[in-house]
């Protein structure tokens, strides 16, 4: 049931943005509010649950990639920065930035999760600089450029206008960045 609630929340989010209610979920699933409350305290809580699951998945995959000795540092960087979660293809990423005005607490939660978790990227950059693979450059600047490049893909209708998927755009952003710092 918990997964059905999450799936319905995602469907409604894609359809209506943040402008849906817990009652919309209740009606779509034909369950009671009490059933929803067994798993989540509110609509915001459902969103936070989705974010927690997605970021836990990302961190697990990042650690696996980081430990993979068959990959070069550049390959690890590309793989770590382009990880997909099970929700990436389901969620309309353009709608995420709409949530800033409508549900600021969830947006702040999302941004807090997003801005953390760059430790592995930082470690790869340090290692790449030490090994002479990457230019000796400002790591915080590289990370900020990667973050902003990723954010840019989700804002407005950039992906639709350029007829590319988020994954394609993300690969291009990260590849350009890696090539830019590679010796």
What residues does each domain of the chain span? 52-181
Predicted local confidence at residue 157, as pLDDT: 78
Average pLDDT, the chain: 89
Count Cα atoms within 13 angstroms, Cβ side, for 120.
22
Predicted local confidence at residue 100, as pLDDT: 67
Instruction: Tell me the C-alpha distance between 18 and 160, whole Å.
Output: 20
Phi-psi region of 118 (alpha: psi -120 to 50; beta: other; left: phi over 0): alpha
| Residue whose entry in the numeric block shows the structure tokens 């992906």 | 159
Q: Is 89 exposed, middle or buried (0-12, 13-18, 19+ CB in 10 A)?
A: exposed
Predicted local confidence at residue 67, as pLDDT: 95
Instruction: Tell me the C-alpha distance between 175 and 183, whole Å.
Output: 14
List of residues 6+ apart from 93 with CB closer than 8 A = 153, 154, 159, 166
- CATH 3.30.110 matches 52-181: no
CA-nearest of 107, 3, 110, 118 to 59 is 118
Here the tokens at position 95 are 């709608």
Please list the rounded mean pLDDT of every run of 10 residues in the chain (183 residues). Answer: 92 86 94 94 90 89 95 95 83 71 79 85 96 95 92 81 87 93 90
Predicted local confidence at residue 6, as pLDDT: 92
98-140 pLDDT, tens digit per residue, is 776 777 788 788 888 888 889 999 999 999 999 999 999 999 9
Please give the DSSP secondary-structure letter assigned to residue 96: G
Predicted local confidence at residue 66, as pLDDT: 94
Whole-model pTM: value is 0.81
């Amino acid at each position: 049931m918990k997964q059905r609630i999450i799936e319905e929340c995602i469907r409604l989010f894609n359809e209506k943005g943040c402008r849906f209610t817990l009652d919309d979920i209740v009606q779509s699933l034909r369950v009671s509010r009490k059933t929803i409350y067994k798993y989540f305290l509110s609509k915001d809580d459902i969103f936070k649950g989705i974010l927690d699951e997605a970021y836990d998945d990302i961190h697990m995959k990042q650690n696996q990639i980081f430990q993979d000795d068959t990959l070069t540092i550049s390959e690890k960087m590309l793989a770590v920065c382009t990880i997909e979660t099970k929700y990436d293809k389901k969620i309309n990423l353009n709608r995420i930035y709409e949530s800033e005005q409508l549900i600021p607490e969830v947006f702040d939660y999302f941004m807090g999760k997003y801005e953390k978790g760059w430790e592995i990227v930082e470690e790869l950059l340090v290692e790449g600089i030490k090994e002479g693979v990457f230019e000796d450059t400002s790591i915080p600047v590289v990370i900020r450029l990667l973050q902003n490049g990723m954010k840019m893909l989700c804002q407005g209708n950039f992906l639709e206008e350029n007829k590319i998927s988020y994954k394609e755009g993300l690969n291009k952003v990260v590849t350009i960045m890696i090539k830019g710092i590679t010796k």
